[in-house]
Every structure is written in C-alpha cells, then in structure tokens.
Amino acid sequence: MGQIQLKQVTKSFGDVQVIPPLDLTIQDGEFTVFVGPSGCGKSTLLRLIAGLEDITTGTIEIDGKDATDVVPAKRGLAMVFQSYALYPHMSVRKNIAFPLRMAKMDQAEIDKRVEAAASVLNLTDYLDRRPGQLSGGQRQRVAIGRAIVREPAAFLFDEPLSNLDAALRVGMRLEISELHERLKTTMIYVTHDQVEAMTMADKIVVLQAGVIEQVGSPLELYRTPRNLFVAGFIGSPK
C-alpha cells in the first residue's frame, strides 16, 4: 500500500503562497519524480507529504485515509535526506536500527530487519563500521537502509545524490531503480536534474513556481510536452 493523494493543497510561508491549490495522485508502487528548477517548491511539496511542514489548506490522503493532521512518524513514510543525517558516533548497524529502537521494536525483529536491509544494500560487511569510515555512496546506502527497515508505505527522496560525484551518482541511480524493482514500494524522488528524472521515473511531475505544468511518463513528456516550459526543461524537440 502506498497511494498518496493531495487535494487542493496550498502552502504559504507568511504572506507568500509558494504552492497554489494543487491536486496530485501518486499511485501505489509508482516511481514518481518531482522535477523543476531551484526554488519551484519540490522540497516543500515533499515535506508537506512527509508531514514535516503543515499544509496551509487542503488535504493529504494516504491509502484513502485522511493524513493531513497525522504526525510524520505515524504516516508510514520514510524520508531519505541528501545530507545523510547519520550519527557519526554510532555504527552502521546502530544507525540503520535507530528508527526501530525509537519505536521500541523487539530486538530480535530489529536484528532481522537490519540484516535484511544490509543484504539488499551490500552493507553486510560494513555493519560494525562508523559512517566516517565509509565512502559517500556507502553512507547514502546506510541512509536508505534506515528507511528500508521501517518497511514504509512510500520512500521520499529529496535530491539524495546531489552530494556525490558524477560517476557515483550514475551508480546510485541504478541502485535506487533496482531497489524500486525489488521492493515495488511507492517512491517519490525530488531532483532538479532532467537526466535523473527521465531515466528513473515511471511518472514525472514537472513543477514551476509551485504549479504542476505537466504529469506524465518520460516518453509522454518528451513526445507531447504541454508547453514550452516543459519542452525546454525536458529537452524535447518541440
């Protein structure tokens, strides 16, 4: 399960409305990419879905249930940050286990989930290291591992690869796509990088100044961009 529905959602910071009324449905299991230039509202939209920001008006439903006033920890979603936000003094194992320990999960179940996540992410040999002893790509995997163990209804990624060098970024894109293939869990992925959007998405949501310009598959956006902004941004010939 992992359908997310935004109905007439707006967000204002003080007097400034950064998201005008917006409707969007993300289907269960879909890999959706929010793409658009810096400042267009991608992170804000993701944070509204995660519950890290309160929406100003409108509603958010997760799997058909109103989640507008549900606290982030109870939404069943897991956010992966670009800055990793790992605890430097804790081992990889403890970093990955952290959300489960906070939830007071049974230790045997924690161990089982951490081992399974580490196996999926090729981190089994690194569980006793600290984040400082890992490469950038490995640290990013630990951050993803910490999301996986929660078995979320959806993963929310905010430009997770922007701190990595170009070569590593290509590899991590493949890893995240493969993870989606394997888990088939809803993923929302924010990027300002058109190549990332075109290569990873089932569905792309193109944003400009808080407004959805178009929603469609990469091919649809490429072949039939609705306007010059989408055409220019996606790099299609029109």
Catalog residues that contact ligand ADP under the rule CB under 6 A.
13, 18, 36, 38-44
41, interface contact from ligand ADP, Mg ion, none, CB < 5-8 Å by kind = ligand ADP
* Segment contacting Mg ion by CB under 5 A, of 36-44, 99-107, 118-126, 212-220: 36-44
Work out how close the CB of 157 gets to ligand ADP at its nearest, in angstroms, rounded to a whole number. 12
Work out how close the CB of 191 gets to Mg ion at its nearest, in angstroms, rounded to a whole number. 9
The order of strands in the sheet holding 16-26 is: 16-26, 4-13, 57-62, 65-66
- For 194, the token pair is 């058109």
CB 156 within 8 A of CB 80: yes
Q: Could you tell me which residues come within 8 angstroms of residue 104 by beta carbon, excluding any fewer than 6 positions away?
A: none
40, interface contact from ligand ADP, Mg ion, none, CB < 5-8 Å by kind = ligand ADP
Work out how close the CB of 107 gets to ligand ADP at its nearest, in angstroms, rounded to a whole number. 38
Q: Which is nearer to Mg ion, 49 or 100 (CB)?
A: 49
Backbone angles phi, psi at 58, to 5 degrees: 100, -175
CB 58 within 8 A of CB 48: no
Work out how close the CB of 110 gets to Mg ion at its nearest, in angstroms, rounded to a whole number. 32
Work out how close the CB of 46 gets to Mg ion at its nearest, in angstroms, rounded to a whole number. 8
Q: Write the interaction track for Mg ion spanning residues 37-66; mark x where CB under 5 A is met and - where it is not.
A: ------x-----------------------
Backbone angles phi, psi at 55, to 5 degrees: -75, 150
194, interface contact from ligand ADP, Mg ion, none, CB < 5-8 Å by kind = none
Please compute, for residue 25, the number of CA atoms within 13 A of its CA located in the half-sphere on the CB side: 5
**SS3 assignment, position 236:** coil
